[in-house]
């Protein structure tokens, strides 16, 4: 049996719209690890958020990994250690903070365990409710940038075009400094140069000695495209945005509310079967 490694996005992929995870998806993940395949949860979320979800799923065993902050941090659940860690230089974070504040766009960053924001806002409330992460209101976010952050996140809940305009206006500045992309229509991410989910695919395949052609990556949003392209098999969820479907080798028959992840694990690992009702 050839070992596979499954890179699985959280929101809109593994999780249903109500942020729960179906029993069939849970069973498929457990069966994959039981059969000695690898699981790598891949997300824009923080390590603490990924750890919480993995513990709930029983995925803190050997063979289970996390690609957090869109590839900025790669973490081994069973060993409880960070394998790779990229950070955004402070001067770039400070620049983005000034520019976003001047543009009237909510911006936030992270400590190891908390979301950091200058003030409470509907955007911050939306994010913390969605992720379950605690937040710290600093009053002055600059005062918290005493160490390099994992990423900066800009949020606009109603006008994606404002985020698109910001990204376009700062495209020249961004070159050779950092990478920006949308993880959903409300979130514009600025991550360390070279940090993306595709890097996570390459790193873990090399680290584990798994041929890249045995990697299967599953996602639904723009920030999943790099891993979908890097993996041997790139999978777009039925509910994925069109650009992700265009990049994929396979599009699921079932969406994130209908056990799409279980479908993929079954299809590309014939040794795993999940009973369907």
160 in the same domain as 206: no
Domain assignment of residue 275, yes or no:
no
Locate all alpha helices (DSSP H) within 18-59, ordered by sequence.
Answer: 23-34, 47-57
Largest interatomic CA distance in the chain: 56
Looking at the structure of the chain, the number of domains it has is 2
pTM: 0.91
200 in the same domain as 72: yes
What is the b/e burial string over 220-252, where b = at least 16 CB atoms within 10 angstroms of the residue's CB? Answer: bbbbbbbbbebbbbbbbbbbbbeebbebbebeb
CA separation for the pair 267, 262 (Å, rounded): 8
Domain assignment of residue 277, yes or no:
no
Q: What is the DSSP string of 111-163?
A: -SS-EEESS--HHHHHHHHHH---EEE-S-GGGG-SS--S-EEEE-SS-HHHH
Q: What is the DSSP string of 248-267?
A: -SEE-SS-TTTTHHHHHHHH
Domain that holds residue 98: 90-192
Distances (CA, A) of 179 to 71, 76, 139, 173, 209: 11, 24, 27, 11, 28
pLDDT at 273: 56
pLDDT at 100: 97
Domain assignment of residue 102, yes or no:
yes
Domain boundary among 177, 192, 207: 192
206 in the same domain as 77: yes
Q: What is the pLDDT along the chain (277 residues), one digit of tens a residue?
A: 689 999 999 999 999 999 999 999 999 999 999 999 999 999 999 999 999 999 999 999 999 999 999 999 999 999 999 999 999 999 999 999 999 999 999 999 998 889 999 999 999 999 999 888 999 998 877 777 778 999 999 999 999 999 999 999 999 999 999 999 999 999 999 999 999 999 999 999 999 999 999 999 999 999 999 999 999 999 999 999 999 999 999 999 999 999 999 999 999 986 655 554 4
CATH code, domain with 13: 3.40.50.1000
CATH code, domain with 151: 3.30.1240.10
CB contact set of 259 (below 8 Å; sequence gap of 6+): 22, 24, 25, 28, 274, 276
First-to-final CA distance of the chain: 28
């Amino acid at each position: 049996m050839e070992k596979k490694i499954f890179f699985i996005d959280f929101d809109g992929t593994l999780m249903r719209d109500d942020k729960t995870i179906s029993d069939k998806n849970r069973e498929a993940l457990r069966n994959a690890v039981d059969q000695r395949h690898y699981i790598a949860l891949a997300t824009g979320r923080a390590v603490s958020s990924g750890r919480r979800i993995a513990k709930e799923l029983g995925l803190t065993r050997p063979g289970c990994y996390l690609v957090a902050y869109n590839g900025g941090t790669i973490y081994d659940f069973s060993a409880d250690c960070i394998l790779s860690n990229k950070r955004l230089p402070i001067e770039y974070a400070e620049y983005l903070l000034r520019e976003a504040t001047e543009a009237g766009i909510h911006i936030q960053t992270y400590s190891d365990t908390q979301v950091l924001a200058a003030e409470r806002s509907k955007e911050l409330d939306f994010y913390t409710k969605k992720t379950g992460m605690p937040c710290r209101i600093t009053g002055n976010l600059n005062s918290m940038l005493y160490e390099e952050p994992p990423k900066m996140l800009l949020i606009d809940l109603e006008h994606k075009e404002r985020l698109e305009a910001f990204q376009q206006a700062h495209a020249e500045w961004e070159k050779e400094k950092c990478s920006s992309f949308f993880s959903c229509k409300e979130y514009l991410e600025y991550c360390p140069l070279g940090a993306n989910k595709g890097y996570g695919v390459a790193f873990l395949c090399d680290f584990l000695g798994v041929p890249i052609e045995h990697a299967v990556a599953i996602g639904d949003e723009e920030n999943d495209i790099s891993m979908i392209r890097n993996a041997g098999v790139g999978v777009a969820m039925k509910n994925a945005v069109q650009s992700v479907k265009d990049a994929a080798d396979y599009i699921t028959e079932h969406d994130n509310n209908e056990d799409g992840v279980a479908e993929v694990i079954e299809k590309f690992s014939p040794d795993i079967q999940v009973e369907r009702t």
